[in-house]
A and B are shown apart, each in its own frame.
Chain A
């Protein structure tokens, strides 16, 4: 379990990083290395060059924007856990961060690395889909912004081009009355999720996003409560129907067995319950 020999570069600017990425087809971006490291050791990836982007200042800063915050791609789970994004959504996301892996992993793992890897069992993926987050992407031809829903093409599949870099995650500030819920079911502390339910409900705007994730199946986002709640009221926990939801997940194309579908539905139910209690 040792990687093949590779070169290593640590550019200081996004432009330098992109240039290297463009010039060396066998190059791979290295952020926290918490996913890439094991993949290197198992020789699942055999890059010629690793481009370490964690010293690029723009990528490790959190900036307030007009409608929310922009989190640099290399901001770590640990710094979000410790309050780096300024208590957006009453610290809801800080808690999501705290539930990722163990502190040692959180100290290195980054929000951008996690979203780029697009593991359906990953926490940011589910939590930020519920927020309707957007990604900022830089390439040699310019930058673009894309909704996370569109960025993710499936389990471990994204819209990212080979010479592109995720630079930031944009999170829109929700209204005061917005409610969030997050429930992760995992075999033991620090494990990836077997099932995740993540929800955002804004009563005023009628905005509703309920995410089913976890395991190995691509996540599903529901924006219409009527196939999940008998009363179609997203805050009426008692009318949330686990069996209906499991069926809705199957209808949405989630190709999982009964146990997995139900487990997701239960996680969703518990996320809704948490949101309703806030």
Chain B
């Protein structure tokens, strides 16, 4: 048998249906009597609703907040001291706080007709002053987003590890201001849901495009006042999530309510305009930072003030402050330095709530920290990679508790960087740079590193105290009468390839061929509870749980085989799908067949527990695995037009033991493509009225096939000491470093002109204007 277990480059099982267009997404599902929903959304960012006029003839098909008095708003609180909770009404009640906020739900046989109804509903507003910018939100006299709040800050945090010492001792001090644009995560499939009431089961069924069906069920139960048992949430095929589908949507609550109220199935499919202007917001950070270092580039301390634009509401379940509060704990990145201060603000503005996006908080943090390292290097006229090598956590320090008490489990960070330097051929690039380009473009090389805490569990999330704290992850494993294996997990696979990798784990433990292993996921009726798919956790957590359940299943199978082979269970070994005893052997298939179909062949004293097991798993330490990577990129910058071409891109990454290296490569390519979007293209601009300025993909630029270069990926494999098989979470990493690496490369290209970029995305306009600004100041 070809290798199928942990480490095999197995082609993804799920690709067969995806590549043939046979996936079953929410939009593919039909129900008898189903009607379509369109939402009337606020055209203004901040206003009181003075009246809603619904023409007589359509009143039966239009729902407003007044109809939904029994439904609770979405409130995602945290236990962090000082956190101010917000109430997000399902439909706006009295006031709107961002453009796109839902005011009314309209039902019609088709979406087009539902939009006709939307057009006929008139809303009168009394405008309130909008807050369009997070720094404006922090000002003393800023308008307040939420009545009863004393300011617009969801949460303020401060950590200080003897910063004053660094200020005294440092030879150099480098200060910068960095910011990253608000982005819209753009899965190919938007959100969407179908809600229906099942009279037989007295159960609401919601098919929804989500990463976390069990969490959506809890959220629905809380808002609607239903028992969990009265709700079933199914996530069918999901066309990309990236965090955007890791939240409870007000649309989902509204649809569930409407299905119960109207007595027929209702469907809502998000369109791209809703996605861009009303919902999918992420990433907007601002940093004021100072690095203190000795004259050789050894860091003595980092002092930062970080603000995150959290938008108008705290979303369920991750809450409004997770992003900024995480900044404080992860800003030090892969480096070891003695002093640190970080002051963070989660600012409320009149924009859609900020939601998690692949590499949550890490992408912004990496941008700030890695640009800072390069700024220090330029200040000291050192090679940026040398400054990194001086400050990286060293392999002999592992496992390492960093300054914010993050516990780095394993790895060799300097080696990753050295391999990246070699792969990109830094020497050759420097040589070519000296020579100059014949076409007048400027060559630059940039590096960036990060480490990514993943699969962190109870001990970490209990501290945040958000509505969802992951505990033991569970999986169910069942041998079928024909010797196949069914695995049930409560997380969901939507591009991660879990249907394949979990089969590989099942095969690794039980030896059953992967073709006979089926992974069932994404349905609260079939699967054990799980907080779902987020935080690069599934390979570690669901993988561990599957292994655990399969272990126990193996022991059950050994027990039955022992009866059949008339020996002791301890004398049976399971190998390659067969049970070997002292006097003979059996296939697992035979064991299953006898257990289910011929129980008469087994003695009375056989263990009655049978061939189905649900078991749970937590790593030995639940503070997370730390995968890490070094990205290196060379670019050519046209100083006349600001155009940037990526000439070479190298990633050296260590994700521990790789269950399926091909899938890991895919995750890295996809993540890096999104990172290139963050670096060079994606930006949701809001004007001073807090109006989003991009409503289609012709204004919101995403990288396409021609903008993403062939990326060369190299793997290191340092096992995590704490997880089953030594795996680490890697799902988000690709998206973390590109903005930093690319911007560093651009700054390297521009260094002789004295221009430096500190805002992402680095657009042609920003580059040309940065060069022009230097010229102007030189002239003055």
Q: Please report A residues at the B interface, Cβ cutoff 8 Å.
A: 1-5, 38, 42-43, 185, 187-192, 194, 242, 258-259, 262-263, 266
Whether B707 and A2, one on each chain, are in contact in the complex, defined by CB atoms closer than 8 angstroms, is no
Partner of B704 from the list A2, A190, A263 (CB cut-off 8 Å) is A190
Nearest opposing residue in chain A for B702, CB measure: A188
B701 interface residue (CB < 8 Å to A)? yes
Nearest opposing residue in chain A for B119, CB measure: A43
Please, which residues of chain A bring their CB within 8 A of the CB of B703? 188
Interface-lining segment among B19-27, B109-117, B415-423: B109-117
Q: How far is the CB of B115 from chain A (nearest CB, A)?
A: 5
Q: How far is the CB of A44 from chain B (nearest CB, A)?
A: 11
Known: A185-B643, A187-B681, A266-B640. A1 touches B706 (CB 8 A): no
Please, which residues of chain A bring their CB within 8 A of the CB of B706? 188-190
Partner of A263 from the list B641, B698, B701 (CB cut-off 8 Å) is B641
Q: How far is the CB of A235 from chain B (nearest CB, A)?
A: 20
Nearest opposing residue in chain A for B772, CB measure: A258
B271 interface residue (CB < 8 Å to A)? yes
Interface-lining segment among B141-149, B377-385, B763-771: B763-771
Whether B765 and A1, one on each chain, are in contact in the complex, defined by CB atoms closer than 8 angstroms, is no
Whether A1 and B273, one on each chain, are in contact in the complex, defined by CB atoms closer than 8 angstroms, is yes
Q: Pull 14 A–B residue pairs with CB atoms less than 8 Å apart, ordered by A.
A: A2-B112, A5-B116, A43-B119, A185-B643, A187-B681, A188-B681, A188-B703, A188-B704, A189-B707, A190-B704, A190-B706, A263-B641, A263-B768, A266-B641
B residues 671-722 in Cβ contact with A at 8 Å: 681, 695-696, 698, 701, 703-704, 706-707
Please, which residues of chain A bring their CB within 8 A of the CB of B764? 187, 194, 263
Whether B115 and A259, one on each chain, are in contact in the complex, defined by CB atoms closer than 8 angstroms, is no
* Chain B interfacial residues counted at CB < 8 A: 27
Please, which residues of chain B bring their CB within 8 A of the CB of A1? 115, 271-273
Nearest opposing residue in chain B for A192, CB measure: B698
Please, which residues of chain B bring their CB within 8 A of the CB of A194? 764
Q: How far is the CB of B437 from chain A (nearest CB, A)?
A: 16
Binary CB contact string for chain B from 109 to 146 against chain A (1 if under 8 A, 0 otherwise): 01110011001000000000000000000000000000
Cα(A124)–Cα(B361), bound, Å: 44
B residues 738-773 in Cβ contact with A at 8 Å: 763-765, 768-769, 772
Whether A4 and B112, one on each chain, are in contact in the complex, defined by CB atoms closer than 8 angstroms, is yes
Q: How far is the CB of A192 from chain B (nearest CB, A)?
A: 7
Please, which residues of chain B bring their CB within 8 A of the CB of A43? 115, 119
Partner of B116 from the list A4, A259, A262, A263 (CB cut-off 8 Å) is A4
Binary CB contact string for chain B from 590 to 621 against chain A (1 if under 8 A, 0 otherwise): 00000000000000000000000000000000
Whether A2 and B701, one on each chain, are in contact in the complex, defined by CB atoms closer than 8 angstroms, is no
Please, which residues of chain A bring their CB within 8 A of the CB of B111? 2
Please, which residues of chain B bring their CB within 8 A of the CB of A4? 112, 116
Whether A42 and B273, one on each chain, are in contact in the complex, defined by CB atoms closer than 8 angstroms, is yes
B residues 90-114 in Cβ contact with A at 8 Å: 110-112
With contacts A2-B111, A42-B696 known, what are 10 further pairs, Cβ within 8 A?
Answer: A1-B272, A3-B112, A4-B116, A42-B273, A185-B641, A187-B764, A188-B703, A190-B706, A192-B698, A263-B768
Binary CB contact string for chain B from 609 to 650 against chain A (1 if under 8 A, 0 otherwise): 000000000000000000000000000000011010000000
Please, which residues of chain B bring their CB within 8 A of the CB of A263? 641, 764, 768
Partner of B707 from the list A3, A185, A188 (CB cut-off 8 Å) is A188
Most buried by A among B641, B695, B764, B772: B641
Q: Please report B residues at the A interface, Cβ cutoff 8 Å.
A: 110-112, 115-116, 119, 271-273, 640-641, 643, 681, 695-696, 698, 701, 703-704, 706-707, 763-765, 768-769, 772
Cα(A242)–Cα(B695), bound, Å: 34
Whether A187 and B640, one on each chain, are in contact in the complex, defined by CB atoms closer than 8 angstroms, is no
3 interchain residue pairs of minimum CB distance: A2-B112, A189-B706, A1-B271
Cα(A259)–Cα(B272), bound, Å: 30
Please, which residues of chain A bring their CB within 8 A of the CB of B704? 188-190
Partner of A2 from the list B115, B640, B696 (CB cut-off 8 Å) is B115
Please, which residues of chain B bring their CB within 8 A of the CB of A188? 681, 701, 703-704, 706-707
Whether B641 and A259, one on each chain, are in contact in the complex, defined by CB atoms closer than 8 angstroms, is no
Nearest opposing residue in chain A for B705, CB measure: A189
Please, which residues of chain B bring their CB within 8 A of the CB of A191? 698, 701
Cα(A191)–Cα(B702), bound, Å: 11
Nearest opposing residue in chain A for B116, CB measure: A4
Please, which residues of chain B bring their CB within 8 A of the CB of A185? 641, 643
Nearest opposing residue in chain A for B765, CB measure: A259
Nearest opposing residue in chain A for B273, CB measure: A1
Cα(A164)–Cα(B601), bound, Å: 88
Cα(A1)–Cα(B273), bound, Å: 7
Cα(A248)–Cα(B706), bound, Å: 35
Q: How far is the CB of B337 from chain A (nearest CB, A)?
A: 38
Cα(A4)–Cα(B707), bound, Å: 36
Whether B696 and A38, one on each chain, are in contact in the complex, defined by CB atoms closer than 8 angstroms, is yes
Nearest opposing residue in chain A for B695, CB measure: A42
Q: How far is the CB of B122 from chain A (nearest CB, A)?
A: 16
Please, which residues of chain B bring their CB within 8 A of the CB of A242? 640
Q: How far is the CB of B763 from chain A (nearest CB, A)?
A: 8
Please, which residues of chain A bring their CB within 8 A of the CB of B640? 242, 266
Q: How far is the CB of A34 from chain B (nearest CB, A)?
A: 11
Please, which residues of chain B bring their CB within 8 A of the CB of A192? 698
Whether A5 and B112, one on each chain, are in contact in the complex, defined by CB atoms closer than 8 angstroms, is yes
Please, which residues of chain A bring their CB within 8 A of the CB of B112? 2-5
Cα(A3)–Cα(B119), bound, Å: 12
Please, which residues of chain B bring their CB within 8 A of the CB of A266? 640-641
Q: How far is the CB of B267 from chain A (nearest CB, A)?
A: 14
Please, which residues of chain A bring their CB within 8 A of the CB of B115? 1-2, 43
Cα(A242)–Cα(B640), bound, Å: 10
Most buried by A among B640, B695, B701: B640
Please, which residues of chain B bring their CB within 8 A of the CB of A258? 772
Q: How far is the CB of B680 from chain A (nearest CB, A)?
A: 9
Known: A3-B112, A191-B701. A262 touches B273 (CB 8 A): no
Nearest opposing residue in chain B for A1, CB measure: B271
Cα(A188)–Cα(B646), bound, Å: 13
Please, which residues of chain A bring their CB within 8 A of the CB of B119? 43
Please, which residues of chain A bring their CB within 8 A of the CB of B696? 38, 42
Q: How far is the CB of A100 from chain B (nearest CB, A)?
A: 14
Cα(A191)–Cα(B696), bound, Å: 13
Please, which residues of chain A bring their CB within 8 A of the CB of B681? 187-188
Whether B701 and A187, one on each chain, are in contact in the complex, defined by CB atoms closer than 8 angstroms, is yes
Q: How far is the CB of B50 from chain A (nearest CB, A)?
A: 25
Cα(A187)–Cα(B681), bound, Å: 8
Whether B768 and A262, one on each chain, are in contact in the complex, defined by CB atoms closer than 8 angstroms, is yes
Nearest opposing residue in chain A for B696, CB measure: A38
Q: How far is the CB of A5 from chain B (nearest CB, A)?
A: 7
Cα(A43)–Cα(B558), bound, Å: 66
Q: How far is the CB of A38 from chain B (nearest CB, A)?
A: 7
Please, which residues of chain A bring their CB within 8 A of the CB of B695? 42
Q: How far is the CB of A113 from chain B (nearest CB, A)?
A: 16
Cα(A190)–Cα(B273), bound, Å: 20
Nearest opposing residue in chain A for B769, CB measure: A259
Q: How far is the CB of A90 from chain B (nearest CB, A)?
A: 24
Nearest opposing residue in chain B for A46, CB measure: B119
Please, which residues of chain A bring their CB within 8 A of the CB of B116? 4-5
Cα(A242)–Cα(B116), bound, Å: 51
Cα(A277)–Cα(B115), bound, Å: 55
Nearest opposing residue in chain B for A5, CB measure: B112
Cα(A194)–Cα(B641), bound, Å: 10
Nearest opposing residue in chain A for B36, CB measure: A2
Cα(A187)–Cα(B683), bound, Å: 13
Nearest opposing residue in chain B for A4, CB measure: B116
Cα(A188)–Cα(B680), bound, Å: 10
Cα(A194)–Cα(B764), bound, Å: 10
Please, which residues of chain B bring their CB within 8 A of the CB of A189? 704, 706-707
Cα(A187)–Cα(B769), bound, Å: 16
Q: How far is the CB of A187 from chain B (nearest CB, A)?
A: 6
Partner of A259 from the list B701, B707, B768 (CB cut-off 8 Å) is B768
Q: How far is the CB of A266 from chain B (nearest CB, A)?
A: 5
Q: How far is the CB of A264 from chain B (nearest CB, A)?
A: 11
Q: How far is the CB of B252 from chain A (nearest CB, A)?
A: 20
